[in-house]
Every structure is written in structure tokens, then in C-alpha cells.
Amino acid sequence: MTATIGGTTPAGFPFPDTTDQREFDAVCQVLRKKGPVVRVEMPDGLIAWVITRYADGKRAMLDRRLVKDLRRMTDPAHGLGGNRYAEDAFVVEGRHMLNSDGSEHARLRAVVGAELSAAAINRRRPEIEQVCRDLVAEFANADTVDLMAVFARPVPEIVMARVLGMPDETLRAAAVLSRELGTRADPASARMRKTYHDLLDIIIDSSRDPEDAPAGSILAALHRAHADKIINKRELISTVMMLLGAGISSTAIGIGYGAITAMHTTTALRQLLGDEDGATAAVEELLRIHPPFPFSPWRFALEPVRIQDVTIPAGAVVFVLLAAANHDAVDHDAALTDAAEFRPRRQRTSHLTFGHGPHFCVGAHLARAEIEIALRVLFAELPDLCPAQPENEIRWHGLLFDRTPTSVPVHPGGSAR
């Protein structure tokens, strides 16, 4: 695949496979300054065209030439070129909202929309708060714990179990497998294929009987849609798998990063988290400054797409680099003259963390509520919570989507710093 930038064919910018989040963030900002669209070579050899700026990214999310459905790539060399890449499960497995377009996407999205609406999530806020309080109580008296393991990951796992309508332990077992599928291991390896099929077995078993789905749950809505022939069984299973993968890890990252930021960088954030309105605004700024998924989900160019002076070729893999675009002060909806700065009291925050247009994240209300409630409960219940490790020693893994801290050691009672 080639493209012209000023009449030349550019070399791919090498994106590093780093465990240092500061290095990762710095590379994202280098790409933003390098140009509106940069041809990037990922650590495993994937060539992608990366949109780095806010206004261009927002327009790209509305561009019908940039599609989600890999089946529309009729040239064998286009899209993934018949290969598999780490973190590609959302695009190649099953049929769901993240790998469909147009009326098909609208049909699949509408089935679960009511259960993930603002009103539905608001009704679940007391339940989410109780989940958070119960988890904190389990480790409040410990000397040192890994906050990711005991809180940031379990919160969205348990909440997703309630929203989907699965038993807590069943979903948490599925979440372990889903996390494995999101790693950078070879997706075509025997181990990863076994992981995929083990997860599929859990989902199929959990969604076999419509009578087992609680009223108001996503599974109940999916079963109704299946009975009405709006979706088929494959789409039902794929939707559950997609919600597990996209809805748990992103929220866990948001909770983990929010806790790290509150502990390491600013007392103002802790103060805001003590108030529901303040916490809501602070979480929105956290989501802007550090999108849990640094890259938008997969898109593919049906035909050449010109963005400013860059032409993305037909068949190209295209991402919006959210971790760069959200920091762009130029042509931003809100005049973010200090866009690179984390300002938890910022009154207006525009970002692309949840996307834009038809593919705006269907779970955005749930993610926002979980992160806000989790951080508010965490610091209310543990006012002396402090890090057990310097921030620059926290290691991160993942690249395109599940870019997450490996662990976040903390002292719940503030016993040492």
C-alpha cells in the first residue's frame, strides 16, 4: 500500500512496544506534531494510517469510506491482507456493532440501546456504588494490595455481570479469558484459539435459556430480539463477547488510571472526587487526557481518502489516535489552549474517547458512571490510600486498545509512601 505526502512515499513511523507509559504518551504527541495522518509500522509489522488530530479524527469517524466491516474489503491484499494481528479480535470474530456498518450496525446497536441508556444506568447507580463499597471492604485493612486486581478490574466485571444478566462468577471467569484475547499474543496460536473457544463455550452455555435472563438485562433484550428474528444466534453470542471485551477492560483502565492520577499528581482531584458533580467533571477530563483505548477501533479505507495533504490509499488500515487527538488544541470544539494539561476543574471538555457519530460508544453512560462512582467510593472509604510504588515504575502492557497498568501496588491505609 502506498500513498503520497508531498509527492513521496513515506517510510512507516516505528511505533515502540514499550512498558513505559510516559514514553508511549510522548510518541503519541510526536505523531500529532508530525502530521495530520502518519503511516505507522506497529511492533508486529502491521502498517496502519494513523489520524492524529481532533478535527480530522472527528470527520473521519463520519466518513462512510472508512468502514468497520472487513468483509467489504474485496481485494485480498486490502485490510488485514488475510493475516491475523494481535488485538484484532473485535474486527475478525463474530458479527456485532464494532465490525458492522450502516443499517446492519444500527440494527445490532438498537437491540441493547435501552439497557445501556442514561436512564437505565442511572437506575443502577446505587447497585454500582454497593459493588464498589463491598470490594473496598475486602481489602481496606490489608497492608499492600494490587489495586488493579482487587478493585479496578473486579468493579466492571461484577457490574457487567449484573447488566448482562450473568452470574458474577461466570462472568469473572469469562473476563479472564477475554483479557487474554486482548493481549498481544499471536491470535492464530493454539493457546489463543483455545482461549477463544473456551470463552465462546462459557457465553453459549450462559445464554442458552431465555428463562435464565433477568428482566431488564441485556441478555433478556438479546433473547427477545432473537425470538422476534431481529438478530440471529451468532449475533447474540457475538454481542455478548464484544461487550465483555470492550466494556470491561476500558473501564478497568479508566479506574486504574484515575486512581494513579489522584494518588500521584494532584490533591485537587481527590477533593473533586468527594462531590458527585465535581467527580463527574473530573472523570470527563480524565477520559480526555488519557483515553482508556489509545486508538479508535479498526477502520478500513474502501477507496483513497484525502485528509489535508495526505492521501490514505484504498484498503488501508486506519486508526484515529485518540491519545493524540484529544490533546489537540487546534480546531477543537472547546478552545483548549492548555489541551496538554490535566485540569480536573475544566468546565467544558470535548474529546473523542467514546468516538463520534453512529459508532459513538453504546456503553459510554455505563463507563462514565462506573469510573466516577468507583473513584468517589475508593477515596471516600480510604482517605489515606497511597501508592506503594513510584509512578514511573508502574509498567504498562498492550498497544492499540487494552493499554493497561500491569499492577498498581497501594497501601489502603496510607501506612507508607
How does pLDDT run across 347-377, given as a tens digit for each residue? 777 899 999 999 999 999 999 999 999 999 9
Q: Going by DSSP bridges, is the β-strand pair 396-397/404-405 parallel, antiparallel, or unpaired? A: antiparallel
Residue 197's pLDDT is what?
93
Identify which has the larger pLDDT, 275 or 91.
Answer: 91
Distance, in Å, from the CA atom of 412 to the CA atom of 145, rounded to the nearest integer, reads 8
Q: Other C-beta atoms within 10 Å of 135: how many?
A: 20
Considering only CA atoms, give the Rg of the chain.
Answer: 21
Residue 7's pLDDT is what?
35
Task: Give me the mean pLDDT over the 114-139 stretch.
Answer: 96
Question: Which of 289, 264, 284, 262 lies closest to 274 in space, CA to CA?
Answer: 262
Residue 139's pLDDT is what?
96
Residue 415's pLDDT is what?
60
Query: Is the Cβ–Cβ distance between 253 and 373 less than 8 Å?
Result: no
Distance, in Å, from the CA atom of 316 to the CA atom of 3, rounded to the nearest integer, reads 10
Residue 20's pLDDT is what?
94
Identify which has the larger pLDDT, 271 or 32.
Answer: 32
Cell of 302: 474502501
Distance, in Å, from the CA atom of 202 to the CA atom of 309, rounded to the nearest integer, reads 48
Residue 413's pLDDT is what?
87
Place of cell 491484499: 77
Q: For residue 331, what pLDDT band results from cuts at 50, 70 and 90?
A: low
**pLDDT tens for each residue of 375-414:** 999 999 999 999 999 999 999 998 888 899 999 999 998 6
- Lowest pLDDT segment from 114-128, 278-292, 334-348: 334-348
Distance, in Å, from the CA atom of 54 to the CA atom of 64, rounded to the nearest integer, reads 18
Give the DSSP H/E element, type plus range, for residue 40.
strand 37-41
pTM of the model: 0.92
In the predicted structure, residue 344 carries a pLDDT above the cut 70: yes
Identify which has the larger pLDDT, 314 or 89.
Answer: 314
Q: For residue 2, what pLDDT band results from cuts at 50, 70 and 90?
A: very low
Task: Give me the mean pLDDT over the 114-132 stretch.
Answer: 96
Query: Is the Cβ–Cβ distance between 281 and 272 less than 8 Å?
Result: yes
Distance, in Å, from the CA atom of 275 to the CA atom of 158, rounded to the nearest integer, reads 24
Identify which has the larger pLDDT, 331 or 299.
Answer: 299
Task: Give me the mean pLDDT over the 21-47 stretch.
Answer: 93
Task: Give me the mean pLDDT over the 68-83 stretch.
Answer: 91
Report CA 233 to chain centroid distance, whole Å.
25
Distance, in Å, from the CA atom of 235 to the CA atom of 229, rounded to the nearest integer, reads 11
Residue 185's pLDDT is what?
87
Q: Going by DSSP bridges, is the β-strand pair 386-387/409-411 parallel, antiparallel, or unpaired? A: antiparallel
Helix axes 125-139, 154-164, angle to 10 degrees: 140
- Map residue 145 onto helix, strand or coil: strand
Helix axes 218-227, 233-264, angle to 10 degrees: 160
- Map residue 310 onto helix, strand or coil: strand
- One-letter identity of residue 140: A
Give the DSSP H/E element, type plus range, for residue 242.
helix 233-264
In the predicted structure, residue 9 carries a pLDDT above the cut 60: no
**pLDDT tens for each residue of 142-199:** 999 999 999 999 999 999 999 999 998 999 899 999 988 888 888 889 999 999 999 9
Residue 156's pLDDT is what?
96
In the predicted structure, residue 260 carries a pLDDT above the cut 60: yes
